Structure 1
């Protein structure tokens, strides 16, 4: 769903996009912001690189670090003026995580999200969501929820009953 496009005749814009696409998520460092789907757009306006990012959820504490990392990376590559904007609409969905990102999560022992259920209004449930997930280590589907809140609010903590290993699962949003 990212609005990033590859077609441009401007080499500075192409380079700015390439640099922005290398910045990693501070909470999931195996993913770039592009793979996570939060990097929405990179443009150049009046000599300023303008980057749009979308938080994974309202109040995400990693947004300031993402902004600072993007600014630092672009400055390091010679872009003097950089502005990072937060784009709240459309809201981020875990469906925006790229296939490369999903593979990187699994390789790091984190269960990637399944498809987000986005039909109609999103209902608020006060009990843990039922998810059909597999252990990222042994592929067993015999897993149990340990905590609805894992190392970050966007992850839940599970334990595999087959290999007995704990693992995070990125929630479907």
Structure 2
């Protein structure tokens, strides 16, 4: 195991970044925080490692687990002083999910988000279901029906494939 003490300043920061990038999302463990796009920056402030993350939305209940997992991961590898900063600006976008993350979602039976909506000015509040063009992650059919706008996490919606009849989650475009 490589530890923080065994590397120079640049190597220490690179190691901290690599370790932070491997931490998984507690709600969707097939994704790392890097693949989800919430890992924004890993920096050094003297001996302290400062990790900046952005929540998928401001009320995300997984943030405390993400913070704790980052701190534990880095401390387990010799980084004694770790600070996790939550940044709300710029707001997270589902466009930040990496191609590898999108493949991981689909490999685990979840429908990856399409392009996030582009808003100039205020975001309109609509209470009706959102129409999305998506395909079943199991059979590829575009004949899908919305079951619920809210899945096991607020970031997902529930769908059912009309062709293969399998239910699946869709990660919402934000």
Q: TM-score w.r.t. structure 2 length?
A: 0.93
Note if 1:51 corresponds to 2:51. yes
How much has 1:118 moved relative to structure 2? 1.7
Query: What is the deviation of 1:58?
Result: 1.3
User: 1:4 is matched with which residue?
Assistant: none
Q: How many angstroms does 1:149 deviate by?
A: 0.2
Partner of 2:104: 104
- Equivalent in the alignment of 2:4: none
1:119, CA displacement in angstroms?
Answer: 3.0
Within-5 A mapping of 1:27-42? 27-42=27-42
Post-superposition, which runs of at least 4 consecutive aligned residues in structure 1 deviate over 6 A? none
Moved more, 117-126 or 80-89: 117-126
Mapped partners of 1:66, 1:140: distance in 2: 34
Give the gaps of 5 or more residues in structure 1. 1-8
SS in 2 for 1:100: helix
Q: Once the 2 structures are TM-superposed, how far is the Cα of residue 46 of structure 1 from its aligned partner?
A: 1.5
What is the number of equivalent residue pairs in this alignment? 166
Aligned twin of 2:13: 13
Give the match for residue 168 of structure 1. Answer: 169
Q: Residue 158 of structure 1 aligns with which residue?
A: 159
Counterparts of 1:73-112 in structure 2, within 5 Å, are 73-112=73-112
Aligned to 1:3: none
Query: How far apart are 1:88 and its partner, in Å?
Result: 0.6
Q: Deviations for 1:3-33, whole angstroms, at most 9, x for unmatched residues?
A: xxxxxx7110000000000000000100000
**Residues in 2 aligned to 1:135 and 1:113: alpha-carbon distance in whole angstroms:** 12
Q: Distance in 2 between matches of 1:148 and 1:119?
A: 21
- Structure 2: any 5+ residue segments left out of the alignment? 1-8
Q: TM-score, normalised by structure 1?
A: 0.94
Residue matched to 1:6: none
SS state of the match for residue 110, structure 2? Answer: coil
Two-structure CA RMSD over aligned residues (Å): 1.1
